Structure 1
Amino acid sequence: MSTFDQVLGRKVTPLEPALLDAACRQAHSVLIDVGTGQGKFILDAAREEINRLCIGIDAVAENMAASARTARSSPKKGGLPNALFVRAAAERLPGPFAGLADELTVQYPWGSLMRIVSEPALEHLLSLRALCKPEARLSVLLNYSVFEDRPYLERLGMGDIVDPAENPDLITAYAIAGFTVTNRELIHGDPPIRSAWGRHLVRGSARATLMIDAVANPTWQGS
């Protein structure tokens, strides 16, 4: 297994830099979804704008297998040549995706990725910033019910995380990482972005979503 593998369905193969370069040259813009899960959001985004390259990244290839098969089908059968699925850990980013994203999304993350964007973990938040072009848009959606249940959060080994809806240091940490936070708000009801996992978590329930919107600071020089 390489650090960055393209998911083709059940088959997984090392990502070819030439393939990624060619796809980026053909696209008008690039969307990267980190922690993409089943990848259905990427399929929807690719259908909506065929000239946008939509890249879903997740640590578990099996999660993306069905969506990857759909993307690789013939166009007559709903294939989407502008959708790409990659197995990679968030901690290993940016890799070959450095400076590619016009839009970066992290939707209802779990485990280490949830810590990265909610604590936030500066080292890896810097890695997310490195994915972005100047002035790229970042959208983070968090299942806020996790942070409302502190005993549960402690059982996850994340009891040290300060409430990201209230933490005054969160905006500062994002700024140090090269993101200017433009919005931080709690939303009750259906999630604003079509993520299968997000719908499963909050649709038809009283659970809240914490939305963090930011812009990649064009004057950021890295760290």
Structure 2
Amino acid sequence: MEIITRRGPRRMELAEFHELRAGYSSTLVDLGTGDGAWPRRFARDYANVLAIGVDSDRNALREAAKLAERKPARGGASNALYVAAQVEALPPELHSAADWTTIYFPWAALLKAILSGEEQLADILNTIAAPRSRLSIVLNGEAAPDGFQIPTPESVNKALKSTLATAGYQMTRTEWLDAAQAPATTWAGRLVKGSGRSMIALDAQR
């Protein structure tokens, strides 16, 4: 698979990835990671977890890698890894790798797949998730793409219940999320914190 470092892209083969994962107790995979802030911040707090951010924007991932590869005293996290890939076409190295999959403030095709409960979302999760794993989704509760209604916990639950069941998940909560509980992403800071905007949180377990 193609990983992004501060020097740019390079290949990481399956054997190297397995060796890397073996050094950690679990693996977090953040789909549509954007600027990669969330996996890096999580990695800093949980040194025993390999935190992986997946996105197709190589330039954004390179900037994220530069921050992650700093010394810990300057905010770096050696256990953060960035993978350049389309969420719809994940590399085989990531198959069944995620003990925890996060999708925070998705947009474009991924957001539409969630709001409509597309089967493709089940395919993505079946690809990435470990047999016993957790899924967390957080959505902006005050915006939606053209052609979609503003989401509510009820509409999200209705859209995703069957899709997630197909992927082997059982929902454990779908509810409004307080701004103080917003995940540590850049988008959360821009969209929610200090603005009082609504968020919807969904958790599910395999």
TM-score calculated relative to the size of structure 2: 0.89
Label 1:169 to 1:85 Cα distance change in 2 as closer, same or farther (>3 A): closer
- Most deviating of 46-55 and 4-13: 4-13
**Equivalent pair of 1:93/1:128 in contact (CA under 8 Å):** no
Give 1:165's aligned residue: 153
Q: What amino acid maps onto 1:173 in structure 2? A: T
1:145 is paired with a residue of what secondary structure? coil
Give 2:173's aligned residue: 183
Paired positions, count: 204
**Equivalent pair of 2:13/2:93 in contact (CA under 8 Å):** no
Label 1:70 to 1:18 Cα distance change in 2 as closer, same or farther (>3 A): farther
**Equivalent pair of 1:142/1:210 in contact (CA under 8 Å):** yes
CA RMSD, 1 decimal: 2.1
TM-score calculated relative to the size of structure 1: 0.83
**How big is each residue's C-alpha offset from its partner over 1:11-33, in whole Å with a ceiling of 9 and x where there is no partner?**
11233323211111111111111
1:38 is paired with a residue of what secondary structure? coil
2:153 is paired with a residue of what secondary structure? coil
Answer yes or no: is 1:195 the counterpart of 2:192.
Answer: no
Answer yes or no: is 1:14 the counterpart of 2:8.
Answer: no
**How big is each residue's C-alpha offset from its partner over 1:4-63, in whole Å with a ceiling of 9 and x where there is no partner?**
421112511233323211111111111111111111111111111212111111110111
Label 1:164 to 1:174 Cα distance change in 2 as closer, same or farther (>3 A): farther
Label 1:79 to 1:179 Cα distance change in 2 as closer, same or farther (>3 A): same
1:43 is paired with a residue of what secondary structure? helix
Label 1:69 to 1:188 Cα distance change in 2 as closer, same or farther (>3 A): same
Tell me how far 1:126 sits from its aligned partner.
2.2
Label 1:46 to 1:199 Cα distance change in 2 as closer, same or farther (>3 A): same
* Distance in 1, Cα, partners of 2:143 & 2:79: 34
Tell me how far 1:195 sits from its aligned partner.
0.7
* Distance in 1, Cα, partners of 2:135 & 2:36: 18
Alignment of 1:71-86 (within 5 A): 71-74=68-71, 78-86=75-83
- Residue identity (%): 29
Alignment of 1:35-114 (within 5 A): 35-74=32-71, 78-93=75-90, 95-114=92-111
Structure 1 unmatched runs, 5+: 148-152, 217-223
Q: 1:5 aligns with which of 2, 8, 14?
A: 2
Q: What amino acid maps onto 2:56 in structure 1? A: A
